[in-house]
């Protein structure tokens, strides 16, 4: 039995290492990009002259296109959003009206959401599962995405939880999708890697609220209790960004599922906004989390350097990588 336990422990830590390696790549790319472009996100001002960028004819808000092509953009082979005519990156400023520019950007963002949904289904073969389960089509409901084997994979299952705001299932950051590329702003690379490593995958959609699932926390708890709890996987890993970390901690503290700690072997966070004090986390749970969880944060220190915790107690915090 002792030999068996050692083998199982070795296997889990090997899987954890693979998971953390994948996640730190996202953390590094995300933080480097956000730092490099913090002064010019949306607009990317200064990267191209005004003369080279033809202004779009201003349209009314009700006339915003319903396709990316209608906005004059498409994703190239590198997953970068580019102007169809000029090949240049996205331009935020299309009018002297700042309010209109923002609404134009948000309308484009909604199409980005649908585009990512389509990629999850057509490129990665994920399926939609509507929740609450068994709810009538004429009642408000949302959905999560999952691989074909998410409920039947007896070994490993990965949960992906985005942050707060406008992002939806499959996205980490809309700004990165629009201003950098799909690989840095979406969860697609994680899904590909997880599938290749034998994981089933469930992609949560915590910001798409309904009457009954009216908060990210409620969405996360529902997915665990009604879907993950019934999945066959013995080992569950979680990757969560920003507010997704808070949702994860709430789930662990409030779920009441005695098998949760037995199944969850790794939790990878980036810039998580959780607080053990505010969430009344028991000491035994904190001790367990400190063994299985790691939080990558923005820092000028080299990648994976341990960062001193500013709170009295927290999970291990490490650098997301030195800015270049």
Instruction: Return the active site residues.
Output: 242
Token representation of residue 102: 């923002």
Q: DSSP string covering 103-164, please?
A: HHHHHHHHHHHHHHHHHHHHTS--EEEEESTT--TTS--EEEEE-TTTTT-SSEEEEEE--S
- Contacts of residue 303, Cβ cutoff 8 Å, sequence gap at least 6: 24, 28, 319, 320, 321, 322
CA atoms within 13 A on the CB side of 160: 32
Residue 170: DSSP 8-state: T
DSSP 35-54: HHTTTTTTT-TTSS-GGGSP
- The C-alpha atoms of residue 289 and residue 295 are separated, in whole angstroms, by 11
One DSSP character per residue, 269-289 reads: EES----TTTTT--HHHHHHH
Sheet containing 199-203: order of strands: 127-131, 142-146, 199-203, 156-161, 235-241, 264-270, 293-297, 317-319, 306-307
N residues, the chain: 324
Tokens of 288: 């367990």
Residue in 230, 150, 229, 162 with CA at minimum distance from that of residue 194:
150
H/E stretch holding 16: helix 2-36
Question: Pairing between strand 306-307 and 317-319?
Answer: antiparallel
């Amino acid at each position: 039995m002792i030999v068996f336990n050692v083998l199982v422990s070795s296997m889990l830590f090997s899987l954890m290492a693979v998971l953390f390696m994948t996640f730190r790549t996202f953390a590094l790319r995300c933080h480097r990009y956000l730092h490099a472009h913090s002064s010019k996100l949306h607009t990317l001002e200064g990267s191209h002259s005004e003369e080279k960028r033809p202004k779009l004819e201003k349209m009314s808000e009700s006339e915003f296109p319903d396709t990316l092509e209608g906005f004059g953009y498409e994703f190239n082979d590198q997953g970068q959003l580019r102007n169809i005519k000029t090949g240049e990156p996205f331009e935020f400023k299309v009018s002297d009206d700042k309010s209109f520019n923002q609404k134009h950007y948000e309308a484009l963002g909604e199409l980005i959401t649908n585009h990512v949904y389509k990629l999850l289904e057509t490129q990665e073969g994920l399926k939609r599962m509507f929740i609450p389960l068994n709810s009538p089509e004429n009642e408000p409901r949302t959905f999560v995405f999952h691989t074909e084997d998410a409920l039947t994979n007896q070994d490993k299952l990965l949960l992906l939880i985005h942050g707060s705001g406008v992002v939806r299932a499959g996205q980490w950051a809309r700004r990165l999708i629009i201003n950098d590329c799909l690989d840095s702003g979406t969860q697609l690379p994680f899904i590909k890697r997880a599938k290749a490593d034998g994981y089933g995958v469930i992609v949560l959609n915590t910001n798409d609220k309904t009457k009954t699932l009216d908060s990210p926390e409620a969405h996360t708890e529902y997915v665990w209790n009604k879907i993950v709890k019934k999945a066959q996987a013995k080992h569950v890993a979680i990757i969560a960004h920003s507010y997704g970390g808070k949702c994860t901690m709430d789930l662990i503290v409030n779920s009441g599922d005695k098998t949760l700690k037995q199944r969850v072997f790794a939790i990878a966070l980036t810039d998580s906004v959780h607080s053990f004090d505010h969430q009344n986390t028991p000491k035994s749970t904190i001790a367990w989390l400190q063994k299985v969880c790691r939080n990558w944060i923005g820092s000028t220190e080299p990648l994976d350097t341990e960062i001193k915790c500013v709170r009295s107690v927290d999970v291990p915090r490490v650098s997301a990588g030195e800015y270049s």
